[in-house]
Amino acid sequence: MLDESAESLGISVLPLDEISLPLDVAIDGADEVFKTGNSLVLVKGRGGALMREKLVEIVDEDKLVTDKTFGTTGALPLEIVQFGAQATRRSVLAAIVKVIEEKAPQGGPSEQDPEKAAEALGVSAVYRHCKGSSNQLFVSDNGNFCLDLFFKRPIKDPHKLHDRLINIVDEDKLVTDKTFGTTGALPLEIVQFGAQATRRSVLAAIVKVIEEKAPQGGPSEQDPEKAAEALGVSAVYRHCKGSSNQLFVSDNGNFCLDLFFKRPIKDPHKLHDRLINVVGVVETGIFIGISDLCIVGHSSGTTTRVAL
């Protein structure tokens, strides 16, 4: 794609690890730019590489818009996973309708089918197709579909729209403080070098967090593995599907360490803070402070909102 185009023009493409960071200049494009208050709001990704485009913006003068036109000059692209794409699309339209109605007088099409409600508000959602094809859907560099949103009226609150769209889940993903962390693995992405040492440090960190939330005394002085086991915690390297000896490697070349808890995680904030500071841990599967609202899609085809 972009790297192939660059190489065809004689421009060298280097792995990020071979470059001295921080970069002096990083250049990327934008499809719309809107100045609101003390920030610039961008529409990016109409070329299909949304997740790789959040660097800095370089734009043409015709990309500058105002609050009277923002979002109406072309598509607002969403990158969505292929699995359950139609359900995601319906949830996206329902979320957009809610945002627009919160900015408008009460009354309107909110109780309608999301498709009809969105259409009444001048909004449509179209799957992007490969250039020159009417039946082959475009797939991004990350293996996802691209859903292009079109607005006949300007987007009044791009911040809120982003927050609503980024948090859409299935009903079985909702848990309580009695079950959080126990319904499946909590994944950690860790570097391959020294993975075993990182794993031990991770278990030790978890034991410390749990013991701070429990009465004094317990297995803290034991070997981290035994101490964690006594507290109902295990850490298992993820393997490739269908293989018992080939470890899974992430897109970034890291191992995935799956953490399992028999008891609920009482303080996810503290756990994340401790784990992210373990040398060798790249990222945790705990996402905090991402949004103030989550749209929940139900098997009945309806949606509900979970707000702060």
Catalytic residue among 4, 53, 61, 119: 53
50 touches 77 (CB < 8 A): yes
| 229 is annotated as an active-site residue | no
Residues serving a catalytic function are: 53
